[in-house]
Every structure is written in C-alpha cells, then in structure tokens.
Chain A
Amino acid sequence: MLTETDLAALWITLKLAGLTTLILILLGTPLAWWLARTRFRGKVVVEAVVALPLVLPPTVLGFYLLLALGPNGPIGRLMEALGGHALAFTFAGLVVGSVLYSLPFVVQPLQDAFSTVGRRPLEVAATLRASPLDRFLTVAVPLARPGFLTAAVLGFAHTVGEFGVVLMIGGSIPGETRVLSIAIYEHVEALEYGRAHMLAGGLLVLSFLMLLAVYGWNRRFRLVRP
C-alpha cells in the first residue's frame, strides 16, 4: 500500500489545496464583486492581470516566483524587512505560489456569477432598506451560490493538479513541500512505475468522487430550491 512519505505527500496536497481555496475565496470574492459592478475604465487592466497566470507556463511562473521570493527579489526583501524568512522551500511559499497560480480559476467564475445576478435584485433590496453589506450577504452571495461552488471546485482541483510551480519553488522536502504531483513525477522518473500508478490512480479516483459529490450535492440543492 501507500508508504509513509506518499501519505505525507497526499496530506500536504489536500492541506495546500484546501488552504489555497479558502484564501482565494476570501480574497477573490471582493475582487470579483468589484470587477462585476465597477464602471471604472481601468477595470480591463485588472481583468487582464487576473488572467495572466493562465498564459505563463507553470514552470516559468515558478521560476519568476523563485526569483521574487529569493533574498534579492522584491517579496524576499519585504519578508526580510519584516523580520521573516525567505518563503522558497516552505509550505507558506507554496501557498503564495498556488494562490497566484489558481487566481483566475476562482475570480472568473465569481465575477460571472455576480454579473448574472445583475443590479435589479440589489436595487429591490435597497428599496426595502437593506444596507449595502446586507444586500451583498443576503442577496448577492446566495444568488451567486453556483458560482461559488464552481470557483471553489476549480480552485481546489487546479491546486491539486499543480506541478510546475511547486517543482520550481518547493525543493521537494518530504513532509513540507513534497506534494502528490511531485511524488508521482519522482516515482515515474525513478522508474518506480508501480508506485506511480498507485498514486496517480488513487488521485484520479479521489478527485472523481470529490467532484461527483460536489456536483451531486449542488444539483439536489437546486432541485429543492423553489
């Protein structure tokens, strides 16, 4: 069965994907809300920046992150000025990399969902004297629920499947930065095909079941909704 280091890799992957998704939902919601509602012309620039991680090959993105996180890079300098350590080769560094890497996968579905909600329900709520925060939390967010689900699933799945960025900034430290995709890759490269198949197969089955559960749950929810 799975060895201890492979289990550790599985745990780190789930922890990384979970934490990244949580941070992205927290950061992405206000950003997507703003993008969906603003009439500011410079919005296209922000949209383009959000989509950028889609363009760069992951290893290239990872390489620039490695330079940025290093002691001579802007993030590394900032960290040192704040009295912290450089982030490369740490779990925190992987979270930073993954948040950047999966950003468009969370922001874009949320932005679409908020746009679909439109202004009308919010204006109606405003006439009923709902405060802006109230309107956002009790009208916009519930109506955009499918968008939140898609964003969370895509953000999580994309981080589980992340490889190039982690390869560049992780350093494959067992129990710290060695995630599942790296473990599978190392097994393949080391010609341990049996162990690679087991991990890859397990990952596929697990991901499929997870997606099935989420979509199934969402469907049932929609059916009961009036």
Chain B
Amino acid sequence: MLIRRCWIAVALLLVCELAVADEIRVAVASNFATTSEAIAQRFEETSGHQVTLVFGSTGKHYAQIRNGAPFEAFLAADERHPEMLESDGSAVPGSRFTYAIGRLVLWSPEAGYVDAEGLVLEGSDFRHLAIANPKLAPYGRAAQEVLRSRGLWEGLQRRLVRGENISQAFQFVKSGNAELGFVALSQVTSPERQPETGSRWPVPEGLHTPIRQQAVLLEDSAATRAFGEFVRSEEARSIIRSFGYRTP
C-alpha cells in the first residue's frame, strides 16, 4: 500500500516536472541589464519558462562559456564574441542575430555644458573626459572613433579616463569626477527611471561603426529557441527601443 502510494507520488512528480517549463540561464552584457530584465519578465509571463539572468562583461562571459559555464543563451555587447563562439563550435550554428544597436551620447550632468554639436570637446575647460575602455568595450571603441574622426584623440590622451565598461564611464560622470563623458543613450534614458538631466550631444551614427549587440544560443532546446524568437519579436523590440537602443 505504502509502496503504491510512493509510486503514485513519483509519477505525479514526473508529470509535474514535464509540465513545468524549463529554466534557462542567460549571460547578459551589463549595459543591457535593465532592458533584459523587462524582456525576461514578459517572456516568463507569455511562455511560462523561467529565465535566470547573469550580468557581466562580455569578455568575461566569453571566457566562462569557453570553459563550460552553464549558460544556454548569451546576449553580448558586441558582435565579435558571439562570432567567435559560433566559429569555434560553442554556439548553436546559425543562431546568431543582432538584437540591439547601441547609441552613443556625450553627456554632462551640468545643464548647458555640452552643446548640440559636441564642440565642447575642442575646448580646454574640462579636466576629465570619461569613456569606456576602447580595448574592452564597444562603446569605448565607438567613442575612440568619434574622437579620432575629429582629430582630437591624440591631444586628449592625458585627460581621458577609461572605465572598465560603459557603466563605469557613466559613474565617473554621474559622480562629478569627470565633467563629461561618452555614455550609452540607454543609461540616460530609461522608461523605469527619471531621465538624466544636464546636457547632451547624441553622437550621429555616421561618426562610428554601429554598435551591434548580438545574441547567440548556446544550447538547442525548445526553451532557448522560444527565448531567441521572443527577443526578435516586435514586442521585445519595442521594449528594447524604449530603453534607448535602435533595433535592426
């Protein structure tokens, strides 16, 4: 009798296990953290799958994935790392796509400090200009290209402070330690918070290589495919745009 009950319990558990949706772990570039939370929430509501988001720098995530980290999908901050994962066989072939295009903005918390053309960069009244490290972060590389295109890169070397990533560049400016900095539009615009005040120059996209953020699936399952499709859906794309990105 008791044994039979046990069997029934086990069978019930198994059925529940099948009915309960899968849980997927997604590695997400830090700049996309709040946006991905909004997307994951909608995805969980509509699909019933569970999503765990792990934030970090794309370079670190790449190294972790290459060394067996248990992520099923990867929302990177650039296209280079997903490409490498695809070519070395760590990703599901053909699953790579651009999910967001980052916008660069020159921002200062002080009103009237940054003019509409970014001519402030040519002046000498700031001590520090914050950028993300061009070696590590796509936003940093874009900022470098903008400064190079204006012929200011060499002259500004001693006044440039490099954040490890774009969030740190933002902190440098926000805390007042740097008078101005190249940050992501998504950091000064968010549907969840008050937009940042001050002054800004939205950098024309023609001045730098587009900051394409790509996603790649690392495991082929129904849940990951559903997640990939959702990120590409119009619903997710409108969330992404509301956070200050462009979508392809």
List residues of chain A with CB under 8 Å of any chain B CB.
Answer: 63, 66-67, 69-73, 76, 85-86, 88-89, 167-168, 171-173, 185-186, 188-191
Contacts and interface: CB of A to CB of B under 8 A. Distances in A.
B135 A171 contact: no
Nearest to B84: A191
B136 A190 contact: yes
Interface stretch (B20-28, B126-134, B218-226): B126-134
Contacts of A86: 127, 177
Given A63-B171, A89-B177, A190-B135, A173 B63 contact: no
A70 B177 contact: yes
B96 interface: no
Interface string B127-165: 110100101100000000000000000000010111110
Given A72-B176, A86-B177, A190-B59, A172 B133 contact: yes
B201 interface: no
A188 B59 contact: yes
A168 B177 contact: no
Interface of B: 57, 59-60, 62-63, 127-128, 130, 133, 135-136, 158, 160-164, 168, 171-172, 175-178
B171 A173 contact: no
17 contacts: A69-B177, A72-B176, A86-B127, A88-B128, A171-B161, A171-B163, A171-B178, A172-B161, A172-B162, A173-B158, A186-B133, A186-B136, A188-B63, A189-B59, A189-B60, A191-B62, A191-B63
Contacts of A188: 59, 63
Contacts of B63: 188, 191
A190 B160 CA distance: 19
A70 B62 contact: no
B176 A71 contact: yes
Nearest to A175: B158
B68 to A, nearest CB: 17
Given A186-B133, A189-B59, A190-B136, A171 B175 contact: no
A186 B172 CA distance: 18
Contacts of B136: 186, 189-190
Nearest to A190: B135
B20 to A, nearest CB: 35
A171 B162 contact: yes
Given A70-B177, A186-B136, A173 B59 contact: no
Given A66-B171, A171-B163, A171-B172, A88 B59 contact: no
Nearest to B162: A172
- The 3 A-B pairs at the shortest CB distance, nearest first, are namely A171-B161, A189-B59, A88-B177
A191 B59 contact: yes
Contacts of B127: 85-86
B162 A173 contact: yes
A89 B59 contact: no
Q: Specify which of B63, B133, B164, B171 lies most central, judged by the most chain A CB atoms within 10 Å of its CB.
A: B164
Given A72-B175, A191-B62, 19 more contacts: A66-B175, A70-B175, A72-B176, A86-B127, A88-B128, A88-B175, A88-B177, A89-B177, A171-B128, A171-B130, A171-B163, A171-B172, A172-B161, A172-B162, A172-B164, A173-B161, A186-B133, A189-B60, A189-B135
Contacts of B59: 188-191
A41 B217 CA distance: 61
Contacts of B128: 88-89, 171
Contacts of B175: 66-67, 70, 72-73, 88
Contacts of B133: 172, 186
Contacts of B57: 189
Contacts of A71: 176-177
Q: Specify which of B158, B163, B171, B175 lies most central, judged by the most chain A CB atoms within 10 Å of its CB.
A: B175
Nearest to A174: B157
A188 B160 CA distance: 22
Contacts of A76: 176-177
A172 B165 CA distance: 12
Contact of A167 (B130, B135, B164, B176): B164
Nearest to B163: A171
Contacts of B164: 167, 172, 185, 189
Nearest to B131: A171
